[in-house]
Structure 1
């Protein structure tokens, strides 16, 4: 018999049917929420699972003692993932930068570029400082002087390039002589010895003369600079350039559709990338026992910079929770960890920054390709630690001038580091040459680079993403501030007239306010601004 309560002269009783419905709705709501969560985060869950399953698969296959040929076949699905990601890098970088630069007027481009370059330089310099400080605190090279490199079975690294030529090559690659060749070749200086005369006893005198050569690898710096300048040139053309701008916009959108398809292959490819790397490992115990302090110092530096410094910088600018922003980027971080390539991570990073974090595509398509090329915070950390490590290994005392040289050179050389696996190893040679240390110990860095390079790449792409978030926030603030300004006050925006055949606000500058011309050709400054306009 149900419980009864009298109220206003009649009896109310609890219906067992209603009670059961309410009780049944709880699990149903929970189930719907869980299903919705899995649908929304399916790619992230599959990608992270791919890393974990790949690690377990690698440990299992490692005990089977495969031949080198069998290991190559085992790694094939992972190789296909890298090839797919690298396939879309060229159209993605070129088209996104052209359309991004074309959507900005020159003054806005200067402001946006200035903020981005300042952010990249400051964060990379901080990263270099963290690396040097940690190296002097942990002292990874002290006591490792008796390290027997022969027992580790290391391959040698040839680094005969002069420091001056390294920076000259950086400048040369900014202006490629052949744009088509820049898609797959990079300029590099080599040397030959030329007989210039003889002395009294008849023996010849040889001089080392630098000669220009081409090496395999995309000249991403030259393509980035050309795309930016070409985008600005298209904007200067006005209506005549609109057709070509729309072409590159459509090309970029089509490339992003390809990226969205490739992302569903990422979990499967990552599983075999991680598994094959574990199978290929040599004697890990010997490596870690010999170079454990160097590995620990590098990874700790990446944790400090990526987990504390970069989030604090983001919070300082935006007053928003940086970890909420980063939680939408788990897929690109996992891709970075597995592929060890900033360039290969760029497609998924652009997609997730725009879709998950709401960053304006005009900001992301402009800043992320540049960041993937020049912003290498993680590389700067391990390069500085490696330089101090080799100094300690050779019992060389570093003075204040040499430490300053390490900081500056690491910051500058990280710009030229290729966004590929082991891309930062060769740039360590530039630092060692600058402070007068031998480069024959670089093979030690190469032995453990496959460990350190994973956290290096994650920090690199995190810095790019947070930089895009900061620029997006600054642009939004400038927009709101400009909307509140009276017409007679000093305006913060650059006023431009709308080109007659502009497709829409999506392709306009994120940093300018558009104004429609009146019937007599004058600009109507009292026209109400739309929400999509910006006023920086």
Structure 2
């Protein structure tokens, strides 16, 4: 039956099929608009990476000078500076808030699960890298390859003793000055002292000397923030004011992160483009070290595309790739910046908004994971050790393979979450198994390629770990109501500003209000 409508005094027949078709088209258009609106940053970020590759390849033919390269890379440098600026308040405030919002028993339980997850995945990554190294043999037949033929610099500082590297890791856990820890890290240096000058003979002794080098001691800040959060929780009512302060600081930091996210696509475009422009001869490096690059990236693909998703599925029985789709923006940021620490702000924002992970879980576990969970770095370091061993025709025995596994797992904890942060830690592994460290310049030459997939796997491991903890916590919630205990503040509820308060702080009246008594007017928020 046709519908009719009156227009200019005439009855006009309307075909229902056309009307339904218009409604269907309008519905599809609205869905498309909603999809574009929801994924605007994702689309812009991926486009920024692709455009950056194109701009970089085009700019290589222009033969830019060093000064022009610096100007070209300026927008990308600004992105890195903004992301690094936000790391300190984000890590400290989120960990204090997260630790204070968790019950002590659940904190220990979730912490134990997280440590176990980090340890197992890193060991699996190290084992996978060694297995691929022996199967693919990236260094076999490459004995003639040296840094001179590639025009590389042989001067790589690798004179640090293995024991001092682990002692520095322990020292950085307990910084002597928290203010200095925000921009300096403890590192052991050496000075030579002349002994026994008698009779024309002189012996030299290498003495370790403690120094401070530039770089945030994020490991020490993480431990301090966790302990301070637990201490504030133990204080009870006396610690609530400080908890509310850090909660508010944390929420304000996340607002800053949301603003920075809109600059990410533009900055990423120039980060990728400038890195391509800076390389002298990409083709020669890739062809010379192709098997090593292929083996490393293959290890990252297998671990990030098979092993980690299987672990997530085994715990949650949910589709891991559906979980990862919501994290395309932080993955693109990780690919462009080569820094798991710089990716932390966008990771926290996306995993909460797109995947619904509890804020108290994500802001507790992700800063820790960005510091200590380095699956991609473990693959990269083990593959480099096997590559250098094969390069020097050195057969590794079972004891040395076990040493590589343990040392790579431990040294990846102390690897800085910055570009090329894991390269110098390879020297620790090489020294531990008695291999020469002068071939590290080869690793540095192609680090800019491998480090991108390394960082993506690092942050993927952190994200899936947060998803597993969120699932386990929700599963145990009906059994125990103390799993995530909120911080209650005895104050008059403020309905006007409720949307601005932290999700970690809930309001509670000191006395119940009778139903026949009118609620007081909104007063100034206690936050």
- 3-state DSSP class of the match of 2:262? coil
The match for 1:507 is 504
Matched, 1:342 2:331: no
- 3-state DSSP class of the match of 2:157? coil
The match for 1:169 is 168
Matched, 1:413 2:411: yes
The match for 2:387 is 389
Contact 2:101 2:486 in 1 (8 A): no
The match for 1:327 is 325
Contact 1:163 1:434 in 2 (8 A): yes
In 2, the alpha carbon distance for the partners of 1:146 and 1:160 equals 25
CA separation of 1:367 and 1:495: change in aligned 2, threshold 3 A = closer
Cα RMSD, aligned residues only: 2.3
In 1, the alpha carbon distance for the partners of 2:428 and 2:165 equals 7
Following superposition, the deviation at residue 106 of structure 1 comes to 2.4
Deviations 1:394-444 (A, max 9, x none): 111100000000001000100000000000000000000000001000000
Matched, 1:452 2:441: no
Following superposition, the deviation at residue 192 of structure 1 comes to 0.7
Following superposition, the deviation at residue 51 of structure 1 comes to 0.4
In 1, the alpha carbon distance for the partners of 2:355 and 2:17 equals 41
CA separation of 1:431 and 1:26: change in aligned 2, threshold 3 A = same
In 1, the alpha carbon distance for the partners of 2:244 and 2:39 equals 33
Following superposition, the deviation at residue 516 of structure 1 comes to 12
Following superposition, the deviation at residue 481 of structure 1 comes to 3.4
- 3-state DSSP class of the match of 2:205? strand
Contact 1:100 1:231 in 2 (8 A): yes
In 2, the alpha carbon distance for the partners of 1:26 and 1:215 equals 63
CA separation of 1:498 and 1:166: change in aligned 2, threshold 3 A = closer
Contact 2:373 2:458 in 1 (8 A): yes
In 2, the alpha carbon distance for the partners of 1:165 and 1:496 equals 41
In 2, the alpha carbon distance for the partners of 1:495 and 1:23 equals 50
Equivalent in 295, 315, 323 of residue 297 of structure 1? 295
The match for 1:186 is 185
Equivalent in 251, 259, 262 of residue 261 of structure 1? 259
The match for 1:438 is 436
Note the 1:20-31 alignment, pairs <5 A: 20-31=18-29
Structure 1 range deviating more: 33-42 or 166-175: 33-42
In 2, the alpha carbon distance for the partners of 1:132 and 1:494 equals 39
Matched, 1:157 2:146: no
- 3-state DSSP class of the match of 1:164? helix
Contact 1:332 1:345 in 2 (8 A): yes
Contact 1:193 1:208 in 2 (8 A): yes
In 1, the alpha carbon distance for the partners of 2:58 and 2:71 equals 16
CA separation of 1:130 and 1:23: change in aligned 2, threshold 3 A = same
Equivalent in 265, 269, 285 of residue 287 of structure 1? 285
Deviations 1:28-64 (A, max 9, x none): 2221111111111011000000001111111111100
Q: Normalised by the size of structure 1, how large is the TM-score? A: 0.89
In 2, the alpha carbon distance for the partners of 1:263 and 1:150 equals 42
Following superposition, the deviation at residue 518 of structure 1 comes to 12
Deviations 1:265-293 (A, max 9, x none): 00000000011111111211111111000
In 2, the alpha carbon distance for the partners of 1:79 and 1:316 equals 40
- 3-state DSSP class of the match of 1:180? helix
In 2, the alpha carbon distance for the partners of 1:496 and 1:270 equals 39
Deviations 1:314-351 (A, max 9, x none): 00000000001000000000000000000000000000
Contact 1:368 1:464 in 2 (8 A): yes
Q: Normalised by the size of structure 2, how large is the TM-score? A: 0.90
Note the 1:65-84 alignment, pairs <5 A: 65-84=63-82
Note the 1:122-271 alignment, pairs <5 A: 122-155=120-153, 156-199=155-198, 201-271=199-269
Following superposition, the deviation at residue 462 of structure 1 comes to 0.2
Contact 2:248 2:502 in 1 (8 A): no
In 2, the alpha carbon distance for the partners of 1:25 and 1:500 equals 50
In 2, the alpha carbon distance for the partners of 1:496 and 1:292 equals 52
CA separation of 1:236 and 1:437: change in aligned 2, threshold 3 A = same
Contact 1:104 1:508 in 2 (8 A): no
Following superposition, the deviation at residue 99 of structure 1 comes to 0.7
In 2, the alpha carbon distance for the partners of 1:140 and 1:232 equals 48
In 2, the alpha carbon distance for the partners of 1:420 and 1:284 equals 22
Following superposition, the deviation at residue 496 of structure 1 comes to 8.2
Deviations 1:86-112 (A, max 9, x none): 000000000000111111232221111
CA separation of 1:496 and 1:181: change in aligned 2, threshold 3 A = closer
Matched, 1:41 2:39: yes
